[in-house]
Amino acid sequence: MAAVNLSNSPITQVSQTPVQTNLQPQLLTRLLLDLRGRRFSVDRENILSLPESVLLCLFPNGLVLSRQSAALSDGGDNDDYEELYGVDFDPDCFEFVLTFFQHAREEFYGTGNSPGLLAAQQQLLDGGSPTSDFGPSPSQNPLLTKQAIIVLREELEYFSIPPKEGKEATDARGIANDALLDLKRKCGDYLLHKRNIFTALQRNVNKENNLAEQHLIDMLCMSGFDRDDEWGYRAMEPSRCCISSIALVLLKTGIVHAAGPTGERQVSVDYNQMATAQKLLLFWRKPARKCWWDGIEVDLADQGEPDKVIKLWARRVWTLELSLVSPSSTWYF
User: Cβ distance 238 to 250 under 8 Å?
Assistant: no
pLDDT-derived band of residue 266, with 50, 70 and 90 as boundaries? confident
Inside any domain, residue 85: no
- Percentage of the chain beyond pLDDT 70 is 79
**pLDDT tens string 75-86:** 444 444 557 889
Give the pLDDT score at 184.
Answer: 93
Any idea what DSSP says for residue 255? E
- Percentage of the chain beyond pLDDT 90 is 47
Q: In whole angstroms, give the CA distance from residue 329 to residue 333.
A: 13
One-letter amino acid for residue 95 of the chain: E
Q: In whole angstroms, give the CA distance from residue 187 to residue 313.
A: 10
Mean pLDDT, residues 144-164: 93
Inside any domain, residue 35: no
Inside any domain, residue 151: yes
Inside any domain, residue 183: yes
Inside any domain, residue 45: no
Inside any domain, residue 280: yes
One-letter amino acid for residue 137 of the chain: S
Give the pLDDT score at 295.
Answer: 93
Q: What is the number of structural domains in the chain?
A: 1
User: Cβ distance 36 to 235 under 8 Å?
Assistant: no
**DSSP string for 156-189:** EEEEEE--TTSS--B-TT--B-HHHHHHHHHHHH
Inside any domain, residue 252: yes
**pLDDT tens string 10-58:** 445 545 555 555 555 567 788 899 999 999 998 888 888 899 999 999 9
Share of the chain residues as helix, strand and coil, in percent rounded to the nearest 5: 30, 30, 40
Range of the domain at 160: 145-324
| Whether pLDDT at 69 is above 60 | no
Any idea what DSSP says for residue 196? B
Q: How far is C-alpha 323 from the geometric centre of its chain's CA atoms?
A: 8
Interstrand relation of 309-325 and 288-299 (parallel, antiparallel or unpaired): antiparallel
- Neighbour count for residue 166 (Cβ, 10 Å): 12
Please provide the average confidence, as pLDDT, over all residues in the chain.
83
Give the pLDDT score at 168.
Answer: 82
Give the pLDDT score at 126.
Answer: 66
**pLDDT tens string 225-247:** 999 999 999 999 998 999 999 99
Inside any domain, residue 296: yes
